A and B are shown apart, each in its own frame.
Chain A
Amino acid sequence: MNLEKVVFGFFILLALTLNFGFFLGEIDNPEHHNVYELFAAIIVSLIATVLKFGERTQIGAVLLASSLVADLQLISAAIVWAVAVHVLDIGLTPAVMASIVSLSGGALLANAVSTILLTVETVTLHR
């Protein structure tokens, strides 16, 4: 058992599940999407990214890339949220909420790719 793999697997899966939790629900209903979940998803995703720093393998590089994509999407979602609520004062209208959630949906996809890559790596490693 490789502790590095365990820790990374934990964070990448946690990022995926948190992301999924935030994503789940009606796309334009603010009631269905908890801000704390988005926050947790961002933090966990960032940590997962950092864990891939300095990886020399090919698959490590792709994992880092997909992780960075997820970060970018989630942070964009958070920025949209902050701008809509605090800067423009339009509040969480269905349109705003929909774009936030769709951004997090993109991140979800990137996280899913990460997880698949991780699985592939693990499977080939054990063969």
Chain B
Amino acid sequence: MTTPVAARGSIVPIILRRMRVPIIVLITAYALAVFGFTLMPGVDDQGEPWRMTFFQAFYVVSYTGSTIGFGEVPYDFSNAQRLWTMVSIYLTVFAWLYSVGTIIALIQDTDFRNALLRTRLLRSLHGIREPFYLICGYGDTGKLLARALLGRKQRVVVIDRDMTNVEELRSRDSGIYVPAFCMDAEVPGNLIDAGLQHPWCAGVLAVTDNDHTNLKVAIATKLLNRDILVFCRVDTEETANNMLSFGTDLVVNPCEDFAQRLVMGMREPDAHRVYDWLTSLPNAPLPHRPEPPQGRWIICGFGDFGRAVYRALREAGLSVLVVAEAVDDCPPGSIPGKGTEAVTLNQAGISEADALVACTDDDADNLSIMVTARQLNPDIYMVSLENRLYNRELFRAANPALPVQASYLTASRFLSVLSAPMLRDFLEQSARQGNDWNHTLVKRLAEISGDMTPDCWTITLGDRQAPAVMQAQALGEPVQLGNLCRDPRKRRDRLNAVPLMLRRGGECLLLPDDDTLLQAGDRMLWCGTPQAEALLGWNLHHLNSLRYVHTGAHRPDGWVWRHLARRRAAGDS
């Protein structure tokens, strides 16, 4: 019963194909039974011999076959007819049992159910009429991405190889229906099924835990649908370079990313803070982290993460000691061991060290390293890697100075680029501005954010996103940036939003001044609270709000009021 089910298309052919034999059996059984009845000699109520016509025979077989039992019509049967009735009963009843059994087996068949599910998913996918993102891999990162995108009312489609992940997603009530396919993202055909070439597919987010799979997804996307974004997570530098070589839009290596930020946090703590706040997932408490010390570092675990941190710290000119189980490919002078025991940590000179990085692949080991290290040196600055999100509570209790979640890092980087494509440029430029410049910005961000991480968004000045500004300009009332930042309910208050960057033509203006005059086609990057974003929308969309924040006067807008105002003005003059 395990005929392979065809990958695509409707399930009706599958049912029909499976039902071929049972239906033929039924037809044959009925045909035989009917035919036999027409041949059996009978005796009517006058004692005359008679034979059933096909009509009568079919009638008798119809009620016999369905085991209804109607007695013997139109006359009492002869023995020959009774004999044939018995044959027909067994023939037709067994044919029915067989057919019904086949249907039941078909319904229970997993292949069939998968095909059924797939058909339903494909149908729901074809019904999507808004941009959606295709998430490959529903691990920790995929979950974070899906949750955040759904929170912004954006549609997502998920592919994962693991059935349990997919089931978990299906049982979760996300408010918006999420088509979840249980298949291998490495196969391009599967990606196409999941909507890679769908006209509304806006981007592919490859976040499986396998570099090779992510690479294949990126290649498939670039070859099969050049116009959409593809973001990838990678673990090694070579794969990252490979992906960038064919135009992958964003490649995030969480290890490398974190290592760079760690060094940035030491050198330019405020620049790091700006970076940290703007790229965090929105609506989380604003992180206030102590600065990493510039002294002796110990790294426990030398995987991808340990390596990246080691390299970055060495480049920053710090003294670093590695503790690892296999010291063969570690830098010279490394200490063999896990780091979970006091002996090893003492050997590594824990009491004189300033900072410790616990980044083994095992969360239990990382926790154990932290607890042991804290007993030996209570003041040590601790960085810990959280491999799995579900261990979060434990890490929170252990309270490292700098917790690192690879999945969170990746997801937040993806999201910050997705929600505000200009943010990447801004961060690149702001990092070059020096710590003082960033310090001012940090203060301003802290003022507006209300201790929650701010949202970032972009606005293009045009008829669609800012009709009021366009109208005002057409009426000869140029709009100053500072006016846009006022509260449309009370113009003395400023909105909790900061224009971070303005792009006009090829030029970028960082933190534009209040008296900047806006022009059509300007693109602006904003950050602030979601409420400020909504209020800003009023200024951008309603000419009256815009005029109010501009001049402070409420102007009549309805036809009657305008007319009256004009008469009043005429009367005054």
User: Which residues of A come within 8 Å of B, CB atoms?
Assistant: 35-36, 39, 43, 46-47, 50-51, 53-56, 78, 81-82, 85-86
- A51 contact from B18, B20, B31, B53, Cβ within 8 A: B20
Question: Do B17 and A54 touch across chains, with their CB atoms under 8 A apart?
Answer: yes
Neighbouring A residues of B35 by C-beta, 8 Å: 36, 39
Residue-wise, chain B 4-29 has the 8 Å CB interface mask toward A (1 for contact) of: 00100100011111111001100110
Which residue of A is nearest B34, CB measured?
A39
Cα distance A23–B13 when bound, in Å? Answer: 34
Cα distance A55–B19 when bound, in Å? Answer: 12
Question: Do A53 and B27 touch across chains, with their CB atoms under 8 A apart?
Answer: no
Tell me whether B246 is interfacial, beta carbon within 8 Å.
no
User: Which residues of B come within 8 Å of A, CB atoms?
Assistant: 6, 9, 13-20, 23-24, 27-28, 31, 34-35, 38, 53-56
Taking the nearest CB of chain B, how far is it from the CB of A74, in angstroms? 12
Question: Do A82 and B17 touch across chains, with their CB atoms under 8 A apart?
Answer: no
Question: A47-B27, A55-B13 in contact; A35/B20 too (CB < 8 A)?
Answer: no
Cα distance A51–B27 when bound, in Å? Answer: 12
Neighbouring B residues of A81 by C-beta, 8 Å: 54-55
Cα distance A86–B56 when bound, in Å? Answer: 9
Neighbouring B residues of A35 by C-beta, 8 Å: 53-54
Neighbouring A residues of B17 by C-beta, 8 Å: 53-54
Taking the nearest CB of chain B, how far is it from the CB of A72, in angstroms? 16
Question: Do B55 and A50 touch across chains, with their CB atoms under 8 A apart?
Answer: no
- B20 contact from A39, A43, A50, A82, Cβ within 8 A: A50
Question: Do A39 and B28 touch across chains, with their CB atoms under 8 A apart?
Answer: no
Question: Do B24 and A78 touch across chains, with their CB atoms under 8 A apart?
Answer: no
Cα distance A54–B28 when bound, in Å? Answer: 20
Question: Do B54 and A78 touch across chains, with their CB atoms under 8 A apart?
Answer: yes
Taking the nearest CB of chain A, how far is it from the CB of B295, in angstroms? 71
Cα distance A36–B54 when bound, in Å? Answer: 8
Question: Do B13 and A47 touch across chains, with their CB atoms under 8 A apart?
Answer: no
Which residue of A is nearest B74, CB measured?
A86
Question: Do B13 and A56 touch across chains, with their CB atoms under 8 A apart?
Answer: yes
Neighbouring B residues of A46 by C-beta, 8 Å: 27
Neighbouring A residues of B27 by C-beta, 8 Å: 43, 46-47, 50
Cα distance A38–B15 when bound, in Å? Answer: 30
Cα distance A39–B31 when bound, in Å? Answer: 8
Q: List 12 A-B contacts (CB under 8 A).
A: A43-B27, A47-B28, A50-B20, A50-B23, A53-B20, A54-B18, A55-B13, A56-B13, A78-B54, A81-B55, A82-B54, A86-B56
- A54 contact from B20, B38, B56, Cβ within 8 A: B20
Question: A47-B24, A50-B27, A51-B24 in contact; A56/B55 too (CB < 8 A)?
Answer: no
